[in-house]
Structure formats: structure tokens, C-alpha cells
Amino acid sequence: MLRLTRPQARSLRGCFCSQKRFHHHHKNVMAIRREDINVWERRAPLAPRHVKEITAAGHKVLVQPSNRRAIHERYYEKAGAIIQEDISEASLIIGVKRPPEEKVYPHKTYAFFSHTIKAQEANMGLLDDILKKEVRLIDYEKMVDANGFRIVAFGQWAGVAGMINILHGLGLRFLALGHHTPFMHIGMAHNYRNVSQAIQAVRDCGYEISLGLMPKSIGPLTFVFTGTGNVSKGAQEIINELPCEFVEPHELKEVSLSGDMTKVYATVLSRHHHLVRKSDGVYDPLEYEHHPELYTSHFRVSVAPYTTCLINGIYWDPQTPRLLRRHDAQRLLKPIRPSAAATEGSPELPHKLLAICDISADTGGSIEFMTECTTIEKPFCMYDADQHIDHDSVEGTGILMCSIDNLPAQLPIEATEYFGDRLFPYIWEMLSSDARRPLDEEDFSPQVKDAVITSNGGLTPKFEYIEKLREKRLLIREKEQILRKGGMKRVLLLGSGYVSGPVIEYLTRNTGIQVTVASVLLSQAEELAAKYPNTIPVMLDVTSQEGHMESLVKDHDLVISMLPYGYHPLVAKHCINKKVNLVTASYLSPAMKELQKSAEEAGITIVNEMGLDPGIDHMLAMECIDQAKADGATVEFYTSYCGGLPAPECSDNPLRYKFSWSPYGVLLNTISPAVFLKDGQVIEIPAGGALLESTIPMDFLPGFNLEGFPNRDSTKYAEPYGIQSAHTLIRGTLRFRGFSSAMSGFVKLGLINTEPCPMLHHTAAPVSWKALLCKQVGLPASVGDEAFQEAVFERIDKDNFRMEMLKWFGMLSEEAVPHADSILGAVAKHLEARLAFDKGERDMIIMRNDVGIRHSSGELETKHISLVVYGEQNGFSAMAKTVGYPAAIAASMVLNGEISTKGLVVPMTKDIYGPVLTKLKEEGLQFTTKSTLYE
């Protein structure tokens, strides 16, 4: 049962006696100020019984009147306090939250949660005012014991309120999923007059659970508590009011499948349960304290799949491992196949993990996708991991999230009692504080002295770093303000990779354009900004800083996204919300197509597929096709092949290839399916590697010794190209001859495998390539080299070229396999290290479109359109130019109003491809066209 804090009062006199050295014969005056920052803030730093002891000791206590305060002022008055508006007489003024700047008295000692220690921008005005008025500021958050644990906090009551709230939320979520449950009897924490009433509601719920009134089809409920501090303990006090059995984390799987439906199950997760060293899978508590970056968490696979509700109460630091990331949520939300027992009236749960109560409220912290706190007014949202968006509802797809950052305000009376008990022992020394005296002359305990942020008009030595943080931010802000002057058009470029250089170079030729390059790697963004005028670097992680991204989008006229295509829908939604135009170089995905109506209604232009492939290929195709139609001809066939390759002199490896974009994506494409039209027949190539068997020699530039294979679904371009009459339609990928054969070796060995591979996980022991291949071919790792190589040779169809390739890459040796989530991920890392472009090496782009045109005279003409681009040894790569310049040109055209169509746009109309192709020629991209005529 939850123990209320009132009995602790008996120990306060002992505290008082131990603090007699701080007492003086004259009276000191302190004040409890009115809370006026948040409408829900009904707490006070001290309860009447604490005030009574202070006044009994001869001190004067002023209390500002407040109808919002949960404890009526008559009780403070009865305790000896004076209720009055003017508190200027007090030398010590205490509160819970910060006061408005205009209400801060100079030369006073204040104690409250200031939220300034991280240089939080919202409170820097307050800090400036405090410094100017020479206020001595004591911040409760920095009052810690010898072990660094906070001693003045509301932790337990955050846990209590959070647990009550999430039980209420579970009732609503179950109802949305078709189940009435006993949790419907529980309300939000603030709806109860006191915690005893809330506990009674939880007990009533527990009674019905014990009677077996939970719907059988939802299965046993499991609650996981992270952390062992006051927050977690407070939450556990509430769950204990249910018929709850606590189990060890390793027992969670069993009870989640076959547990007793007349009870719920809970487990408390400590560090040793889920943290392991990345190198060897061991947990060393002492090492973790000093080097948390060496550790990872296996919570997502060992605990989360068996959790109904997660109650997260752990502090998170950027160096510490996260519990859950977005891709973990995507995996956990995969629908469970219904059993035969499921019916429409008794549905089963769509997935096990239903709810997360993040009491820590660290945005982007241990729960990475918790990017914004919920509020007491709107306590719940649904997190959709696939869309990476929050829905303000308890319905729909996703995880129910509750992440209120002022939970104790929901139980203000108990929270005040609890907090006051912890603060009270230190009030005596605070009472004697004179803000006009030097801090060193005060007789403060370490707990109080180390919590003094400001004194005598300056930051105390321990907190001088705040000013350095502010200066750094101020420099960036000043630079932005300077560059924004003069009516400049502002472009936000997301991504600082290899294609970003040409984008910035092209746009900043126009002195009226400012580019902000945002990257998770600030050093890359700074390097680009140093090269080009009117360019500002900022750090942005779109996976965890959506609020920052939204703010950046709002401040710009156009966004160019060079992020991986999966992030484009997220970026597009922010652009739609802020009515900002967008340009991307990626394929128009189904998720993007769903935004057509929203983009039109927002009145913005979203240009897609404005790169090389897709992009230049579309524009060259449409230029030729539109001209043929204008001449009264029809298109009978269309083939288009494109490839990013190393220049021939740099292709000195078995794959004849080097990576100029995502290695993982290049390898994954080799096992993708493909669909194309050949001589009137639709040819479908299944996934799994058959694509490589469809490779054909490409002799249009015989000196390059090329081969090609189909890419994705070519047939879907018949309609947008307007060539439904064509009997052949193929879009494919170019490589140097030998690539497909070599890649087939990887496929045959099962190395292009995206399935999770525990033996390669970061927590697993190192594995050699030989051991991995032994596993792949069904041999023990101890097998001799001769037998091992013979088995591998057999698996790759006794192909000597493939065998030599494996040796060249060191994949028949004892060399360690890189840690990764999958075998494909490991292969990608391994090849990337060996197939990166060295300094001075150059890449090349080859594109070839062949268009068969039947003229009205009956003649068949084949248009051969070619593009060959080389990278510059000390300049831009060919890939960077052919992807970056089209995107930059399109951005410039949108800014100038040359592209004005609203909604989703692709470069397949003459008003777009005409000007873009002309401008690309001006950048040195020369397209050659030849014709072959047949009678």
C-alpha cells in the first residue's frame, strides 16, 4: 500500500535540532511565492506543518495568496504564516517553478526549479534578469547527496501519478480495440481529491481482475518498470494495488503467453538485466558508470516483445544506450496473426506492446521516438512507427504514449507534503542566507552550496559553463540574422553528403539566396559552409529532433531533402504544415503519393525524382517521346540503362565497382524483384537473386565492357510516359562486366540476407568470415581449410572467378566480420571499407536511352541518347553533379516561379524538362543523340 508522507513529520524535529547551528537570535523572514507559470501548478514547496515548525522557531513566513494552490491558505495562516501579496520583506523566497522576470526582487535568495543548467533558451531571459538583480539562485535540481542522487525532488509522486494515468489510458486503448476492461474504472490522477481515492479506484479495478473479468482474448498483461529509484518505486506502489505478481525479467516471456488471467504481472528492470558491453556481452557496473558509450541494450529483443505496458523512469544521457528506437517500434508493431479462437466480438490484440508511460519525459532520450511531451490537458497520443508521427488519439495504429513532464502537479497535496519533507532540513541554512554577502562567507552545507547557480551578480564557478553554451548559440543566431537581411530567399538543405556540394555551389551563385545546410554531422555541414558564401551550418538529427526540424522548415522558403528516401514523407509533412516548397531527388514513393491532396490544399509544390535516375532519365525520355508525338509518330519500344561506376582505371577489384552511394542499397537491389515488358510480354523476375541471372551484355559503348540487368517495375512508366502502345519497356542498371557473376557468388552463399543475425549483433562475440561461411554452408567452424574451401567452391557452382573474389575480399579467412544487425549489413560494411574511392580517384556516370519510333511513313527510327560524365579528381564526383545539379536547378526554378504547379510534381512535362536540360548542358553535362533508320 502507498505510504503517505505525513508520518515522516515526526522526524522533522530531529532535523530541526540538528540544524540549530544555523539559527540566530533575530528573526529571519522567508516567503512562499504564488505559482503563476502553469495553470496546472497547484503545488507549494512547503506544507503548513513545515511552516508551523519554522514560525515556532521564531522566524517570519509570508505566503502570497493564491486561489489555485491546492492547500488552502487558511491552513498556512493557522500554522503561523502571514498571508499577503507583498513579499519584498523576505530575504529568502521559495517556490516550485520559476517566477516571471518582472516579479523577481533584487538582492534576494531564491530557491526553485530554474531549468537553466542546460542553457535552456526559454529561461535565459530569467537568468539574465537574476544576474542583473544580483539574486542568489538555489536550484533544487542540483541539490544532491554524496553519490550524486537528487535529494529534493517530487520523484515518487511523478511515479504515482504517471502509473494512475497510464492505467486510465490502457482502459481507453482497450476500449478502442474492442474490449471493455476494469481499467475503465480508473480516471486521470488529477480527477481524485487525494491519492487515497485514486488507490481505491485501482483496488476496485484489481478486484474485478481477480474475479476473472478481463477479456480472455487479450491474454495476460505484463508491466515493465525501468529503474529502481523513487520514480519507479512510486509507480510500483500503485501496481501493487492490483492483483500483481512480480517476476524476473527472464520469466516475462512465459507469463505473457500462459499467465493467470486473474492477475497482472510486473517486472523491475535494472541495468544488469539489459545492458551489455558491445565488445563481449558482459556488464561491468563500475565501467558503465564511467563509459556508458561502450554499452548497448538488448531490451528491444529480450523484454519489449513480451511487454504490454512499459513504465520508463530512468534518467537518460546522450552517452547512454537507448531502450527503444523507431525501427524497434516498427518491429514490435508488426501485426500478430490472429488465432483460430479470435472472433469479431472477441478480437485479439494487434501486437503485444500497447502503451508506454515515459515518466522521465526526456524527449528523444531513452525512448528515441518520444520527441514531444504530452500534457495534462492532452495526456495521450498514438505513435505510428511506420509514419513516424503522433496521432492525438487513443485509436488507430501504434503505441499509446503518455509523457507528461509535470506529473506531480496532478497530486498537488501529497506532492507538496513529500517535497516539503525533503526540502525542510535545508530551509534553516537557506534562511540565514544574505544575497549581499559573498557566497564563501555563508555557512552552507555542500548540498546547498553546490546548488547555487548565481550569486553576487555572476554565475558560480561550477556553472560558468552556461555562459559558454550561450555564447556558442548566440554566434550561430547572429550569423543567421546577418545573412537573413536584405530580403534573401532561404533554402534549407537536409543532408551534407557527397551530392550536397553541387547543390550549394549552384544556388549560392545567386547572391540573393541563403542556404542552411542541416546535418547530423555538424563538422560536414561546417566544412561545406566554409567553402561557399551565404551558407549556414546547423546540426540536426531528423530521427530525434522533429521540433528543431519543424522550426527550421518554418524559417525557409524552400527545402531540399537529400536524406534517404524513407525520411521524405516526414519532411514533406512538415513542409505541408508550414506551407514550404520541397525538392527531392528520390522516387515518388507510395507514402509520398498519399500527400498529394494535402500538398495541393497547402498550396505548395513538391518536386520529386529530380536527380539522375530518377530525374535526368525521365527528362531525356520525355523530350524524345514528346517530339515523336509532335511529329505524328508512335513509340514502339523504350529501353533505359544507367549506372554509377568507377572510372575504368579505378575499377581494379573483382566487382569492378566502388561505392558512390549507400552500399547496403546497392547490395539489396541485387536480390530485388523486377518487372518489364519485352516484345509484348510482361516478364516478372522474382526476388532472391534471379535478377542477376537476367544480366545481358551491353555493347552500345563496347570500349567499356558493360552489362545490364532490369531495375524494379519498368511497366509502371508506360502511362506517365504516354507510351502504352510500346511492345518493349525496360529500365535497368549498368555495371562493368563481371559484377553480376561476382554478386551471384554472394547470393549463393546466403550473404545478401536481411534477416536479423544474432551472432553478428554488437553484443555478440567476434565471428570470423570463415566461421560465418561455415554456418552458411552447413559445416562446423572447426572444419579444416581444405574441406571448408571445397564446400564453398561447391556452393558457388565451382566458379573460379567467384572463388578468387572471395579470397580478394578476405572472406575465406579468420578476419573478423563487422558487427551488424544482419549478414547483409555486415557484408555492406566490409565491402564499403574495401571499395571506397581513394583520394584522386574518379567515378563516372553512364546513361543510355534507346527509343524506337515508328513514323507515319512506316520507317522505324531508333534514337540513341547517351550521357557519359566523369568525376573531377579535385572537384565534384560524377554522381554528385548528376544528382545535385538537377535538384539545385529545380529549386531555383521553384523559387523564381518557373515551376508553379501545386501538389506533387515530377519532371515529365516540357515546361520543366526543357529548361532543366538546357541548364544542365550549361553545367557541362552533354547529351549525345544518334539515330538508326530501318525501312
The CA distance from 12 to 142, in Å, is 22
- Residue 251 DSSP label: G
Amino acid at 464: E
Reference 581, options 589, 591, 590, 571; nearest CA is: 571
State the alpha helices, DSSP H only, in 689-782. 690-693, 718-721, 739-748, 769-777
How far apart CA 328 and CA 296 sit, in angstroms, is 14
Catalytic residue annotation = 613
**Residue 582: is it exposed, middle or buried by C-beta count within 10 angstroms (0-12/13-18/19+)?**
buried
Coil, strand or helix at 319: coil
How far, in Å, CA of 561 to CA of 584, rounded? 5
Q: Rounded CA gap, 63 and 71, in Å?
A: 12
Residues facing residue 276 across a β-bridge: 296
Q: If we measure between CA atoms, which residue out of 564, 424, 403, 422 comes closest to residue 497?
A: 564
Q: What are the DSSP calls for 363-414, one per residue?
A: TTSSBTT--S---SSS--EEEETTTTEEESSSSSSSEEEE--S-GGGGSHHH
Sign of CA dihedral 23, 27, 30, 31: positive
What is the Cβ-side half-sphere exposure of residue 376, based on CA atoms within 13 angstroms? Answer: 18
Look at the alpha carbons of 647, 649, 650, 655 in this order and tell me if their dihedral is positive or negative: positive
CA distance readout (Å), 386 to 382, 394, 588, 643: 12, 17, 17, 31
Beta bridge partners of 615: 611
885/1 Cα distance (integer angstroms):
67
Which phi and psi angles does 756 have, rounded to 5°? -55, 140
- Asked if 620 and 849 count as a contact pair (C-beta separation under 8 A), the reply is yes
With beta carbons less than 8 A apart as the criterion, state whether 824 and 664 touch: yes
Measured distance CA(514)–CA(487) in Å, rounded: 10
Residues in CB range of 502: below 8 A, 6 or more apart: 876, 880, 881, 883, 884, 885, 888
